[in-house]
Structure 1
Amino acid sequence: MAAPKLVIFDLDGTLVDSEPLANRVFYEKLVALGLDASINQARVTEDFTGLNLQSCFKHAREQYGLEIPEGFRDALQEATYARMRAELQPIPGVPAMLEALALPRCVASSSDLEKIALSLELTGLRPHFGAHIFSAEQVARGKPEPDVFLHAAARMGAVPDDCLVVEDSLPGATAGVRAGMRVLAFRPEPSGADQAFTALGCELLRDMGALLGRLG
């Protein structure tokens, strides 16, 4: 397999440990809206991981029977940002890995551009990416469709065959495969869900610090 010429990173759960924070805040907000007590945080996390915010709202309406009121997005964002500023950390091994990575790299995330930029600033990772951050809000379709990865590659001057995607969610990994790119699925803890990633053709990555050894 040819060595990649561009590494495209997902953000949440791949570069920064934001998912536990964001999922907890989202769950708290849904409970305040009247979420059925039988739906616990683990289910909400499983349902929403890898999706953009509009897809999460759609799921909450259609599957949980919740009406999302006007202003909910802003209130959720404010609460999430506050939690991030207090607690957000990079994924272990990421800072050293990015410092040693010699290849061009970018971020392509389901999060909006403001949240991507804030996450990278708070964790000290922004200098490794500069302006090379891309969001699903810039394309017609979010993950699991390939649009954001194809957009990122085009903006970076790369073709899909030359790209390596690093993802932690099944929708994101699916998007990378559909884009025609090689995908490393970051799965730090082995679980039964690993099979879904390998069935897609993804390679499993347990430690972000080991990514450099997987570039050949």
Structure 2
Amino acid sequence: MTPPELVIFDCDGVLVDTETVANQRLSAIIAEHGLDLTMAQCRKRFMGRTMKSVRDILLEEEGIDLGADFPDRWLAGLPDLFSAGVEAIPHVREVILYLNAIDTPYCVASSAKVEKMHLTLGVSGLLPLFENVLYSAWMVEKGKPAPDLFLFAASELGHPPERCAVIEDSPAGALAGKAAGMRVFGYTADPLTDAEGLADAGAILFDDMRALPALLGLR
């Protein structure tokens, strides 16, 4: 396997363990508008999407209007949501330090706003490793599952898509990576991760970050 020139990481669920608490809050908000979705149902339905996309889906499919300012209200509530702390995904710091040591470029490409990434990566202690290479779906026309974000990140850093690898934990993100012409690896350690959806989207599955360098052909 030819090693990638650039490794692109999703943020939530790949670098930081935020999905459960975030989807618990989202489930509660949706319930206030009359639709009962469990935390697990929210994760499966909306994982990997922007809050603008979540708002649009609920309005179109359920007739639930969270309001045009929902993404901003969601962002404003995040410091409280993550006040108890955010854990880094096990062993991901060692992987990033290894990429640094072998001079392999990497970045983050997330559906979240940059402000959210600063918050969660900051609380987890990972921000110093990523603060200059953060790319958000809010920087492009279409978010995941469209390829725009991954193509934008690769272009900004000067690497051809076919020489990039994407690390994802959502089917929407995996579809975006494949549509961009990149190799996609699906992280499945969380038991609520949609492993079947990731596989169907074309991702190579793994459940231990320590295995990633070898899977990428970098060890």
User: What TM-score, normalized by structure 1, do the two folds share?
Assistant: 0.91
- CA spacing shift, 1:162–1:13, aligned 2, 3 Å: same
SS of residue in 2 equivalent to 1:134: strand
Distance 1:24 1:15 in 2: 19
How many matched pairs? 214
In the TM superposition, what are the counterparts of 1:9-158 in structure 2 within 5 Å?
9-32=9-32, 34-37=33-36, 39-69=37-67, 71-101=69-99, 102=102, 103-158=104-159
Q: Percent identity?
A: 37
Matched letter for residue 59 of structure 1: I
Output the CA distance in 1 between the equivalents of 2:192 and 2:74. 30
Which whole-Å deviations, capped at 9, do the CAs of 1:47-102 have from their partners, x for residues lacking one?
A: 11011111100112122321223554333223332121323111111112212223
Instruction: Please state how far the C-alpha of 1:27 moved relative to its aligned partner.
Output: 1.5
The alignment status of 1:162 with 2:160, answered yes or no, reads: no
Instruction: Quote the offset at 1:119 in angstroms.
Output: 1.5
Residue 21 of structure 1 deviates from its aligned partner by: 1.6
* Larger CA deviation: 75-84 vs 174-183: 75-84
Measured after TM superposition, the shift of residue 191 of structure 1 is 8.1
Instruction: Give the counterpart letter for 2:175 in structure 1.
Output: T
| CA shift in 2, pair 1:189/1:20, >3 Å | closer
Larger deviation, residues 192-201 vs 107-116: 192-201
CA RMSD of aligned residues (A): 1.9
Contact 1:25/1:80 (8 A) holds in 2: no
CA distance in 2, matches of 1:207, 1:79: 31
State TM-score, norm by structure 2.
0.90
Q: Structure 1 residues 27 and 207, CA, compared in 2 at 3 Å: closer, same or farther?
A: same
**2-structure distance, mates of 1:192, 1:172:** 12
CA deviations on 1:96-125 (whole Å, 9 max, x unpaired) are: 221222311100000011111222111111
Go from structure 1 to structure 2 and tell me whether the alpha carbon gap of 1:213 and 1:86 turns closer, same or farther (over 3 Å shift).
same
What do the CA deviations read for 1:4-27 (whole angstroms, capped 9, x no partner)?
111000001110011112111112
Segments of 4+ moved more than 2 angstroms? 34-37, 39-42, 62-65, 69-81, 189-201
Where structure 2 has 5 or more consecutive residues not aligned to the other structure, the ranges are: none
